[in-house]
Structure 1
């Protein structure tokens, strides 16, 4: 299961949440610090490691 990063628009708290791909579009999260529902998904950069050399 992927881990998604979120940021609260009210207090600025950054936090992570583990969720299924299917529930990512419909999940309703609350900020763990202030309880606000005004949270926004933060795109996370990733690196794909392969066994082939370029």
Structure 2
């Protein structure tokens, strides 16, 4: 799984049960931290000098 700036902030209704056209996953961001993520989160290091954390929903 990878992320890019394209569509990163696309909003999607919480009650939808499909993925928006052109995407494979819906991510719920769990935080942006200096080094660690909450349990159960995927992490992307070196994202704007920090760690972006999200989970697949």
TM over 0.5: no
The structure that is strand-richer by fraction is: 2
TM-score by length of 2: 0.24
Which one has a bigger Cα radius of gyration? 1
The structure that is helix-richer by fraction is: 1
